[in-house]
Structure 1
Amino acid sequence: MPKSNLHALSQPEVASNDPLHELIRQGARDLIAQAVETELESLLKQYADVKTPDGRRAVVRNGHLPKRAVQTGVSDVEVQVPKVRDRSGSGIRFNSHLLPPYLKRARSLEELIPWLYLRGVSSGDFQEALSALVGEQANGLSANTVSRLKAKWLDEHKDWQRRDLSQKRYVYWWADGVYSNVRLDDRLCLLVIIGVTEHGHKELVAVEDGHRESEASWRELLTDIRERGLEPSPKLAVGDGALGFWKALSKVFSVNTRITEVSPMKTMVYRLNSGVSRLFLFALVAVMPALVQAESANDAQAVKALATDSSGALLVLRDSGLLVLDDKTAADIPLPPSDSGAQPRSMAKGADERLYLAGPGLGIWRYEYASERWHSLNDTLPDLGITAIAAHATQPETLYAYLGEGGMFRSRDGGGEWVKVDGGPREPVQAFLHSDMPGSMESGWLFAGTTRGVARSMDCFCFWGDAGELRGAVTAIDYDPSAPENVYAVIEGQLHHSSDGGETWVGLEIPQAITALTFSPKEGLVVGTENGDLLSRNASGEWVPVHE
């Protein structure tokens, strides 16, 4: 018989060492374990008042049942259910609603994907989502249990997003934007980078939600991973030729990277073999993106920036729009137009009823109350990557802006012309403040909230130094105009106060994580929260709502 030129190809092993497969399995294991643990904590809390004759708690933890495997749509997932001991003799036992005794097979995990993504793991729909994993037993979860699970996962996701990348070295990158048809309300996509290390290991480098696949969204993602220490660029990057990724890559990294563009029908997901592409999508949608979407569900209402106009009205910036609040009315101002969908992140109040908004990918825009129109101020800027803007305390036609790696810029004519300023903080700036605090050789002080802490300089820009020993990524900063030495800064949702112009700082108790702050002549210190609330301090030092 003639020799055949056809060779059989081996099928991939089910129990492969693919890191994406392991990521999914670990995600499923953690999902089940955390849910069962919260069930147990609820039971222990329910019987916390049951005591033994000598005053000890009667219902306590008592180890775990033997491990057992539950079949899922990914693979067998090993689970272990905790036990309790009832020392009162009342027969109290712990039986998990999610993992009843003898459960060996769960419903397909793939049924879970649409609910996790579509609902964003919101507490109102979580039972429906988790029921796709373990069936109707998920209906026994309380809203409180769901909220605790959600909070824990959000914390884990934030830790993952902040992880140090300084020791990572990637030879190859695959970059793509992944859309899901189950998303009904907008066309957000997941921006994904998978890297291959020098030793051939695949790792999920970054995953973030973005507006379509714009250059601005990719640039924000790449800037973030570079600022977390990922300096060397890959030797080869592969992706769709339609991506804004390529422009962003060349601007963020000093690249000697070979760029390989593939047609839209051969992008990363489709080039992977069918098994891996299913795992890849599942890893993105069922493990990390579920947390991203849970966070993004509230993100539209989170307060991004606050300011006060000359009449004392509060200006409240959210992704959903700009709100002007005074004693009697609330008026909406539409946000400036953006072809890329970029959102403003910084706000400054200028002279003559002028308002300035800025953000990465948006640049700087000025709103004039009289004409009720936005005007672009980007003609003399090298690009649109503005991260912070501030107005001079006593010369409101003088503006300051920070342009990523482009450094500091100043305008003396209300934004008509921008000039680069020599010097500036060493770290990226996320918030700006000009203060008329005494002691400057010029007309005031500039405070910069950076990724490392608070930096300070006289507005002659002759020297930038640390303002005290406050450390962390500062997302908002402001001061009390009636007492300029009182400066306030927000680091990771916590409020800090300096009564000596930034020399020393103390933390202030506040009931919610805050995202923005301003001083109002009527309300005093006003803060905005990640939940969208506005709070002010009353005469007793208590935080009370500012009603919209």
Structure 2
Amino acid sequence: MSRKSLPALSRRMFLVLSGIAAAALALPHGVLAAEPEYPAVSAVAFDGDSLLAGGANLVRSDDGGQSWTELSTPGPIQALATHSERPGRVLAGLASGGVALSEDGGRTWEIRSDGLPEGEVDAVAVASGQPDMVYATVRDDGLWKSEDAGQSWSFAMDRPWLEETERDLLTLASVDLETGMGGIWIYAGTEAGLTRVPDCFCRWQDVQPGNAMDALVAGDAPPSEAPLPAGEAVRGLASAPSAPDTLYSALPSGIWTSRDGGVVWLHLMDGSASAVAVHPSDPMQVVAVLDGSLQISRDGGATWAALAVE
């Protein structure tokens, strides 16, 4: 892991640290503040045929989830991203702030956060056709991009304005479907639902039939026959690289899928879902975190089996 000098103390961080210090002083003598608790699994990803599950720790399975190996971790992990053209490369969004990158399947890590602001990184994604183009979302900030696999970062887009307020981006997916504006889409989940933006970063849009130009002409999105539940948080998103029209999402109501790029959704599985990933070459093989446990489906979500992470 690379060594970095400590950043200058920002006003926001000064206030945060002051609040922590005040809370610690308020504790009874001899009582220590508890360490923050992180979920056992908060993020999942496929690295080729292998599975990665991250949270408080990071584990890897090379045999479909039958056995697991604990790996080193740069810190509690909020999000994971990989790309089929870069086997072994894993991108991690950290709960402590920043992004880390591994080139050996998660065994060793390097911090890649130069230019990123302070704050928890809730989501990371790799551009479908450009494996060195990566995206990250920073809590209370917005969407950031890097064209050199995280060596340097620049601001890409403000948070979307939904239901009269800016909404944090909880999850990201690069979706290899044409926007009509010379690029492809970035889909994002927020606490208020699903949104997307062309990778030219013109404006956030509702998901509707047609391309971005059609949406600009049509104005308000037409009602969908079967959208995701209105106002429900979209915690996880995955686009199948081999079938980009196929999407999976993780919501408090369970796992959902779309076969038309997110216009019409089908409910697959009940439960509280928090993360989802799809195999790079098999759009029917899906892994999800459901009610805190890891589940796998090999038939597009029709049936599921629990994976014991040990």
Same fold, TM exceeding 0.5? Answer: yes
- Go from structure 1 to structure 2 and tell me whether the alpha carbon gap of 1:248 and 1:263 turns closer, same or farther (over 3 Å shift): closer
Q: Is the 8 A contact 1:424 1:461 kept in 2?
A: no
Greater mean alpha carbon deviation, residues 312-321 or residues 427-436 = 312-321
Deviations 1:191-216 (A, max 9, x none): xxxxxxxxxxxxxxxxxxxxxxxx9x
> Whole-Å Cα distance in 2 between the matches of residues 527 and 263 of structure 1?
37
In the alignment, which residue of structure 2 is the partner of 1:532? Answer: 293
Deviations 1:161-187 (A, max 9, x none): xxxxxxxxxxxxxxxxxxxxxxxxxxx
Q: Give 1 or 2 for the bigger CA radius of gyration.
A: 1
In the alignment, which residue of structure 1 is the partner of 2:235? Answer: 475
Q: 2:134 aligns with which of 399, 405, 414?
A: 399
> Whole-Å Cα distance in 1 between the matches of residues 260 and 23 of structure 2?
59
In the alignment, which residue of structure 1 is the partner of 2:70? Answer: 332
Q: Is the 8 A contact 1:305 1:316 kept in 2?
A: yes
In the alignment, which residue of structure 2 is the partner of 1:229? Answer: none
In the alignment, which residue of structure 1 is the partner of 2:56? Answer: 319
2:229 pairs with 1:496: no
- Go from structure 1 to structure 2 and tell me whether the alpha carbon gap of 1:356 and 1:262 turns closer, same or farther (over 3 Å shift): closer
**Larger RCO of the pair (alpha carbons < 8 Å, separation 6+):** 2
Q: 2:44 aligns with which of 272, 283, 306?
A: 306
> C-alpha displacement at 1:490, in angstroms?
1.4
- 1:354-365 correspondence runs (5 A): 354-365=89-100
> Whole-Å Cα distance in 2 between the matches of residues 385 and 408 of structure 1?
12
Q: Is the 8 A contact 2:71 2:106 kept in 1?
A: no
Root-mean-square deviation (Å): 3.4
In the alignment, which residue of structure 1 is the partner of 2:214? Answer: none
> C-alpha displacement at 1:440, in angstroms?
4.2
In the alignment, which residue of structure 1 is the partner of 2:212? Answer: none
2:151 pairs with 1:435: no
**Unaligned stretches of 5+ in structure 1?**
1-214, 220-243, 251-258, 271-280, 282-288, 338-342
Deviations 1:414-452 (A, max 9, x none): 000101114442311010100112344333210011111
- 1:439-478 correspondence runs (5 A): 439-467=179-207, 469-470=227-228, 471-478=231-238
In the alignment, which residue of structure 2 is the partner of 1:505? Answer: 265
Q: 1:516 aligns with which of 254, 275, 291?
A: 275
> Whole-Å Cα distance in 2 between the matches of residues 364 and 352 of structure 1?
18
- Go from structure 1 to structure 2 and tell me whether the alpha carbon gap of 1:262 and 1:481 turns closer, same or farther (over 3 Å shift): closer
- Go from structure 1 to structure 2 and tell me whether the alpha carbon gap of 1:460 and 1:329 turns closer, same or farther (over 3 Å shift): same
Q: 1:387 aligns with which of 112, 117, 122?
A: 122
Paired residue type of 1:541: A
Partner SS, residue 140 of structure 2: helix
Partner SS, residue 238 of structure 2: strand
Partner SS, residue 248 of structure 1: helix
> Whole-Å Cα distance in 2 between the matches of residues 403 and 371 of structure 1?
22
> Whole-Å Cα distance in 2 between the matches of residues 318 and 537 of structure 1?
24
> Whole-Å Cα distance in 2 between the matches of residues 347 and 371 of structure 1?
10
> Whole-Å Cα distance in 1 between the matches of residues 104 and 49 of structure 2?
15
**Unaligned stretches of 5+ in structure 2?**
1-8, 162-166, 209-226
Q: Is the 8 A contact 2:59 2:70 kept in 1?
A: yes
Greater mean alpha carbon deviation, residues 409-418 or residues 373-382 = 373-382
> C-alpha displacement at 1:362, in angstroms?
2.9
Q: Is the 8 A contact 2:78 2:121 kept in 1?
A: no
- Go from structure 1 to structure 2 and tell me whether the alpha carbon gap of 1:269 and 1:372 turns closer, same or farther (over 3 Å shift): closer
Q: Is the 8 A contact 1:313 1:326 kept in 2?
A: yes
Q: Is the 8 A contact 1:423 1:462 kept in 2?
A: no
> Whole-Å Cα distance in 1 between the matches of residues 245 and 63 of structure 2?
27
> Whole-Å Cα distance in 1 between the matches of residues 105 and 16 of structure 2?
37
Q: Is the 8 A contact 2:88 2:106 kept in 1?
A: no
Higher strand share: 2
- Go from structure 1 to structure 2 and tell me whether the alpha carbon gap of 1:262 and 1:335 turns closer, same or farther (over 3 Å shift): closer
In the alignment, which residue of structure 2 is the partner of 1:486? Answer: 246
Q: Is the 8 A contact 1:536 1:546 kept in 2?
A: no
Higher helix share: 1
> Whole-Å Cα distance in 2 between the matches of residues 326 and 386 of structure 1?
29
Q: Is the 8 A contact 2:52 2:61 kept in 1?
A: yes
> C-alpha displacement at 1:487, in angstroms?
1.5
Q: Is the 8 A contact 1:478 1:519 kept in 2?
A: yes
- Go from structure 1 to structure 2 and tell me whether the alpha carbon gap of 1:513 and 1:370 turns closer, same or farther (over 3 Å shift): closer
- Go from structure 1 to structure 2 and tell me whether the alpha carbon gap of 1:370 and 1:515 turns closer, same or farther (over 3 Å shift): closer
Paired residue type of 2:171: A
Partner SS, residue 101 of structure 2: strand
Partner SS, residue 131 of structure 2: coil
Deviations 1:524-543 (A, max 9, x none): 12222233232214389222
Q: Is the 8 A contact 1:355 1:366 kept in 2?
A: yes
Deviations 1:125-144 (A, max 9, x none): xxxxxxxxxxxxxxxxxxxx
Paired residue type of 2:195: A
- Go from structure 1 to structure 2 and tell me whether the alpha carbon gap of 1:336 and 1:485 turns closer, same or farther (over 3 Å shift): same
* TM-score normalized with structure 1 length: 0.43
In the alignment, which residue of structure 1 is the partner of 2:78? Answer: 345
> C-alpha displacement at 1:395, in angstroms?
0.7
- 1:200-279 correspondence runs (5 A): 247-248=15-16, 267=26
